[in-house]
Structure 1
Amino acid sequence: MASELATNAVHHGRAPGRDFHVRLIAPPANHGAVIRIEVSDTPAEKLPALTTAGPDAETGRGLYLVSQLAERRAVSPRPGGAPGKTVWAEISIGTKPSDSC
């Protein structure tokens, strides 16, 4: 999911003289929680619509895969009043197995 969101920022969100930022937020090891992937770029347009790629298409499936894997995803304003948007996705991870039977 991180790769897809970052790739979209490179292909669709680049502006001269501006970078994009990737932020991964994960809990400490072996704790049940949510991993959040955030990609911020300068353009303020909303998340592109999901498309249906043809069987021979080499592109067009990434956001569909993110939509199927992520438990939540959305677009929000870029933090700190910076121009642009942040596209984010979240996925839950399991808890540490119990040591007792």
Structure 2
Amino acid sequence: MTSNPPLPVRPTRPTQPRFPWHDFSMRFSSTPRGARLARHLAGERLDAWGIPYGSDAHDTLTLIVAELSANAVSHGHVPGRDFRLRLSAEGATLRVEVTDTRGERLPALAEPSDDLDGDGGRGLLLVAALTDRWGWYPCADGPGKTVWAVLEVEMP
């Protein structure tokens, strides 16, 4: 009887980066229901990546996903076209990207107004305040744009 040779030992990696590389991407219907589903699935994905529910990073990132997804539905909606959510993590950097198919409606920070009872206009101000950086770029492979936001996460 022969015995199998021992398996090679995988070398250990340094403790940095904090997160291994992760990537998640999915299309959602350009409806309020699609935006809610995007937020929900982003929350589950972040928890699976080690950013637990209830943590500051988790709450901030799901809020960013909610704002950018709502903007894609409200301002980037083209009938019959979906929006795409992409989350990625590498090191301590987490990135949210939301792509819609309406390239002529570009995101811009609104001036804070005295009308605090208004229904909208503060989403990107919130994203800018909560993230380390954000921006947008036009889609290279068709009509539309991608709005992105980056958060550097401190983990214990």
**Which category describes the TM-score, using the shorter chain as reference length?**
0.7 to 0.9
> What is the DSSP-based 3-state SS (H/G/I as helix, E as strand, rest coil) of the residue aligned with 2:119?
coil
Inter-partner Cα distance in structure 1 for 2:139 and 2:97: 10
Contact 2:109 2:125 survives alignment (8 Å)? no
- Provide, for residues 5-54 of structure 1, a one-character-per-residue CA deviation record: whole Å limited to 9, x for no partner: 00000001011221110111124xxxx51110000011113213323241
Shift of 1:59: 2.0
1:77-96 mapped onto 2 (5 Å cutoff): 77-78=138-139, 81-95=141-155
**Structure 1 unaligned residues grouped into runs of 5+:** none
Q: Does 1:58 pair with 2:119?
A: yes
Shift of 1:82: 2.7
**Aligned match for 1:44, one of 91, 103, 106:** 103
Q: Which residue of 2 aligns with 1:75?
A: 136
Percent identical residues: 45
- Provide, for residues 56-96 of structure 1, a one-character-per-residue CA deviation record: whole Å limited to 9, x for no partner: 223222111101111111111225x132110000000114x
> How many residues are matched?
91
Inter-partner Cα distance in structure 2 for 1:5 and 1:61: 11
Aligned-partner residue type, residue 37 of structure 1: V
Inter-partner Cα distance in structure 2 for 1:83 and 1:55: 34
**Aligned match for 1:15, one of 78, 92, 95:** 78
Q: Which residue of 2 aligns with 1:26?
A: 89
When Rg is computed on C-alpha atoms for both structures, the one with the higher figure is 2
Inter-partner Cα distance in structure 1 for 2:107 and 2:121: 14
RMSD, aligned α-carbons: 1.7
